[in-house]
Structure 1
Amino acid sequence: MKKSRFTDSQIMAILKQHEAGVPVAELSREHNVSTALIYQWRSKFGGMDASMMKRLKELEAENARLKKMYAEERLKAELRQEALEGKL
């Protein structure tokens, strides 16, 4: 997962500014990010507080780790199966 140059609290502050009525175009110029990124943050983190945002990121990292482990174990199982079939 790509590391953001913004901390969770910075993202939350930018989203709070938007909720307070600051236009996305102005926020994107002020923080030197694309408007699309602000909209992505809003759809992903809108309505969350910093602790919820941290928990979401922890769960996403754990999910990625588990998917990688599953893929590795699946590959091992396939190799074992192929080895067994070759011996029979």
Structure 2
Amino acid sequence: MANRRPKPEEIVSKLRQVEVLMGQGMSRLDAIRQIGVVEQTYYRWRKGAVRRMRTSLC
């Protein structure tokens, strides 16, 4: 069974989950693992989110 690509809303939700877990004292790496993605995917999602925020502000 092939993995499906998450919707943008799901990505934002997972990025927020990481921030909440880090706010509760969990390390970034542990928080990333907790949401069920690999570190590389998290950083790619975060980079894309920052780009989208910048373009929406212009």
TM-score, structure 2 length as denominator? 0.52
CA distance in 1, matches of 2:11, 2:17: 10
Tell me the distance in 2 between the aligned counterparts of 1:31 and 1:18: 7
RMSD: 3.0
Q: How many residues align?
A: 48
The list of structure 1 runs, each at least 4 consecutive aligned residues, that deviate by more than 4 angstroms after superposition, is none
Contact 1:18 / 1:27 at 8 angstroms: preserved in 2? yes
Contiguous gaps of at least 5 residues in structure 1: 53-88
Q: Which runs of 5+ in 2 are unaligned?
A: none
Larger Rg: 1
Identity over aligned residues, as a percent?
A: 19
Deviation at 1:8, TM superposition (A): 1.4
Where does 1:1-88 land on structure 2 (aligned, <5 Å)?
3-4=4-5, 6-20=6-20, 22=22, 23-46=27-50, 48=52
User: Larger % of helix: which?
Assistant: 1
Provide TM-score, normalisation by structure 1: 0.39
